[in-house]
Amino acid sequence: MAEEEKKKSSSCVYVADKKHAWLPGNVVSYSDDGKATVKVHYPDNRTAESTVKLSDYPNKALPLQNVDEGGNLIVLEDMVDLPSLHEAAILYNLKSRHEGMKPYTRVGDIVIACNPFQWIDGLYSNENRSKYVEKLIFSTGGEGTDLKSEVEPHVYETSSLAYRGLAVDGHHQSILVSGESGAGKTETVKIVMSHLASVQGSECGNPTPSSSDAVIKRVVDSNPLLEAFGNAKTTRNNNSSRFGKYIQLQFDVEDATSASFSGRAVPRCVLAGSNCETYLLEKSRVVGHEDPERTYHIFYQLIAAPDDVKEQLWDGLKGTKNSSFRYVGDCTPLKIDGLTDAEQWVKTVNALSLVGVVDDKLTTLMRAICTVMQLGNLTVGPDPSDDEKSIITSQDELEKLASLMGMETEDVAKALTTRTVTAGRESYAVPMKVDESRDACDAFAKEIYERVFDWLVRNINAATTAEHNYEDAADVAEFGLVGLLDIFGFESFKINRFEQLCINYANEKLQGKYLLDIFRSVQDEYEYEGIALGDVPFTDNSEVLKLIEGRMGLVAILNEECVRPSGNDTSFVSKLKTVNKDISVLVNERLHRPTEFGIEHYAGPVKYNAEMFVQKNTDVLPKDLLDCACKSSNDLISTELKAKAEASAAAPTTGRGRSKKSALTVGTKFRTQLTSLMANISKTRTRYIRCIKPNPEKEPVKLDLLSSAQQLRCAGVVSAVTISRVAFPNRLTHETAVQRFRCLGSAETRHDLDKLTGQGPEQVNVLIGELLKEYKVKGEEDKKAFEVGKTRVYFRTGALEHLESERMKALAALACNINRMVRGFIARAAFIRLHRKAVAAQALARRTIARKKFMAAKRAAIAVANWRRMIKAKRELKGRQETKAASLLQTRWRIVRAVAMLLRNRKAAIMIQKVVRGTQQRPKYEAMKKEAQEEARVNSKVAALQKRLADAEMKWIQADKARIEAEKRAEGMVAKEEDVETKGEEKVAMTDQQHAVMQESGQMLGVLQQEVLKLRQQNFALRSDMVELKGENNELASHNESLEANFQALKQHAHHMSQMNMKLQVQANSQKKGIVDLKRELNKSRFMHRSEMNKMQEVMKAKEALHEAQLEEMRVELETARYRADEYEAELDDGMGYGMDEEMTGGKSVEEGKRAEGESPPPKAAPITRATFGGQSSLSYYSRYPSTDMEEDWDYGGGYGGEYGGYGSMYGSGYGSMYGS
């Protein structure tokens, strides 16, 4: 096993693979024809053997894996410390750290950032920020102390060291961030900028003056503003920067003397402002983009704004959506940093307000953006009168555009459909074709947007530049600078055009600076280690730069084609290949088209298609459109385009008066910008952050080997490693080298190493000098195979591999010795264990034999005593059973008698209760009966009186009526009499009949008056009776009310009782439910109990079977005991004494003792029934008792070691106890 481990750790290599870049493997064998057989390990956990050519690898050797003694991959924070440093080692070190949620790794001073595609808790916390500030900025480490060794790799490390370099060393700093789209460049720049701005307010430093807070906020918030106008969604990245930028943070650096006088070891740096320069804005994205990409974010944010805001900016914007504008197009909603376009609009407006773009300025800016969008809505068609001419067919859209620009519709249409041609001193208006007019619309839109972007950048600079915004600017002689460069990474697509050429040209310029810095750092390292570097071959990219920017290079030839009236792309490519045919980096293949050429860049060959090169490089806006823009009422458009027109008019001219167009080409301007950028960077201490996009799918914790390896090459990391290891490809620390190769030294060398303990360089010189004394470096036989520095030992090509090979052989030999020793140790240990076991087995056997002899004799004696106690116990048991039966009968009889007496008493009690209740209730009943009768009598009397009253009232009414009639008649008669008397003399004579009538009437009046008197008397009597009846009625009513109250009380009591009854019924229902649940639980418990009982029965059966086996063994032992008892009896007969028998039977033999007690021995094989004592079952047994020999063997229960575990106890535990304790 040990031998396999050693081979594993010594033959681990990497092999190249087209699909995975590099794959780990183990060398199986080498052949003489320069090939090797390798067992390759694939990512899907499968393995396969592969034969590789060593000539395909550098130095004809497979790159080694960095593994420990157990074959595990060594993963380090700083890859410079890897023993074997190459592309594969870097790739797998990054992969291991990325999968371990550690996105940052360093290679010397370079930080490599793998985009984690997820938020990692604590990585950017305030505590982590403060830690880097404390360790790297305000730490007081000694001279030569590597501050980075105390912290893990992080972009905070780069920003902290830049701050310290600015504050302590007084040198301007720059941080170059590069990588492909989606690798995280923009986010990295924002993190670095935020960290630098927060350092001065950290706990370790001094608090930020409140007056600079506004400047810091404007500096930090300028990034989202640039993102809104310069970033867009691409297939690779949802927030891709479509321009490059170089931000210079301006610091007010405290004088070192002042800082020392104030007690500060590190001078204070206060962020005073910033300045931003931009490069290569992708204007073509304004007028078109591929699906599902988007144009710049600001267009979508503006359209997503509230309708009232849009109406204030431009009334034609109200109610519009993305699909309303052709340049914008319909697309799926997108969130940037978790914010929608509408939320981003608010953020952008707030950021614009910080740089002074508010009110009219904001309206002007947004109307310019609307002008760009509206230009895309124009449709152009052929003129019906002439196909060679074009007209604007969308009149409504044209009118909206003219309204936005504040111009006449005809002027705008004319500028977009005609161009002015100047011939001598005369000018002609030439109509444009449909395609030309469309191109003019697109060119106008691109030009306006580019000018808007430049205007915005100038406004941001005006609001953030220290010279204009820092209150102490007059007192600062020079501001300290920390530059942050965020620029496109190297690009290589299927079709590469002018934009890719410019991007790769910029990366070549940066790569030249990068390689030079790396070479200088290697020189500094070797100088620090005390090693002579000598002549190191150094390959730079000067030929590529010469091809692009040389005197007869690509830019110059392209400018010449732009100046020529008949210049075209094909002529440009032809001249380029002819003039630069001797430059090796220019790729000229026969299969190339007339417009195709290739360049061998530092990251690999790229084939370019030169179509549109001349047009894109010229980038001249027609004079008609310039004049149109200058007439616009939009101040931003008119001012910016007027400045462009003036710059074009002021361009230098040749002797023949022709404008030197080459001075205004895109290539020339970009070359000038790059030259200025490199001049600025060269004045600074440069630090690098290389961003890697680990996989195209943007999935966390996943690293695609092939794409990551390509990005490492494009980032120049591999080139840097090649330079740093060109002289000495491998290095080890002193301690590692001595520990790893000590096994190869002789005994004398190892003794010398022990003497030199603590002296690393001397130990390495002694050990490695002996091991490589005969080794010669191929091609460099005159040079030493290694060099020893202060902290490391450096190996030339092949030296470390030679040592590893010798170490593998030595370890293989040592492994054989170790195996032999281990096998001997195992065999000896096994023999000792076997010997001990044999001795123990013999001792156990002897002890078992002796114990069996003793136990047999003891059990024989105990069996006899047990049989006697059993007979006595059976007698006592029988007596107790009879007593128990009699007691049970008596108990039953007493119960029957008591129950009968109870029934009689209960019946008598019920009868007594009936009589008592009847006696108590009868008086109550009689009283209630009388009360009811009285009530009925009163009711009937009241009814009779009421009837009499009614009759009397009727009579009174009739009498009253008769009286009234009589009175009326009497009054009439009196009146008549008075009339007669008044007449007197007229009727003196009256007849007898009339006198009779008068007398009769007088009598009737008398009778009637008497009758009235009688009726009044009766009425008075009736009224008095009525009063009495009303009094009785009131008494009855009060009595009725009391009864009613009693009835209500009884009713309430009944209601209360019904509620109680309902509650009791609910409780009964719940109890019933509980009873049902209890029944279920009981059934469940019963089922479980039955299953447990079944298990217990099975266990009991097993125990019984075991007990039967034990009984069988005991039978054998009893047979032995009987045999020995016979021998013992024979010895007694020979006169050796009867002590034991006499002692047990009181001087008599057992048989005589039993006969004296009146007992007879049990018959042979008489069954004894099973009985249960103490909850346990005693097994039935059979006994044999011959008539002449008392020591016959039988089955028994109890005894020493018996089922119930008691000495001499038959029924339980306890010595001599019949029932147990």
CA distances from 1182 to 248, 1111, 1163 (A): 112, 11, 10
d(CA 714, CA 709): 9
CA distances from 1013 to 457, 969, 1000 (A): 132, 19, 20
Helices 360-375 + 635-649 axis angle, to 10:
70
d(CA 1188, CA 1151): 8
Residue 186 assigned ligand-binding role:
yes
DSSP, residue by residue, 853-895: HHHHHHHHHHHHHHHHHHHHHHHHHHHHHHHHHHHHHHHHHHH
Residue 36 assigned ligand-binding role:
no
DSSP, residue by residue, 1161-1195: PPPTTEE---EEETTEEEPP-EE---SS-TT----
d(CA 521, CA 527): 10
Neighbours of 286 (CB within 10 A): 26
Q: Which two tokens stand for residue 452?
A: 């808007």
Bridge-based pairing of strands 426-431 and 418-423 is: antiparallel
Beta strands in 45-103 (DSSP E): 47-53
SS (H, E, C) 531-549: CCCCCCCCCCCHHHHHHHH
d(CA 270, CA 479): 10
Helix (H) or strand (E) holding 841: helix 799-983
Helix (H) or strand (E) holding 913: helix 799-983
Residue 181 assigned ligand-binding role:
yes
d(CA 98, CA 112): 11
User: For residues 857 and 1121, is the Cβ–Cβ distance under 8 A?
Assistant: yes
Eight-class DSSP state of 777:
B
Residue 682 assigned ligand-binding role:
no
Nearest to 297 by CA among 204, 386, 354, 223: 223
SS (H, E, C) 779-812: CECCCCCEEECCCEEEECCCHHHHHHHHHHHHHH
Residue 675 assigned ligand-binding role:
no
Residue showing tokens 């290739």: 598
Residue 180 assigned ligand-binding role:
yes
d(CA 909, CA 914): 9
Coil, helix or strand at residue 613: helix
d(CA 873, CA 889): 24
| Gyration radius from the chain CA atoms | 62
Helices 155-164 + 185-199 axis angle, to 10:
40
d(CA 638, CA 628): 9
CA distances from 436 to 381, 410, 413, 1136, 1150 (A): 11, 18, 13, 146, 142
Q: Which residue ranges are tagged as binding site for ATP?
A: 179-186
Annotated binding site: 179-186
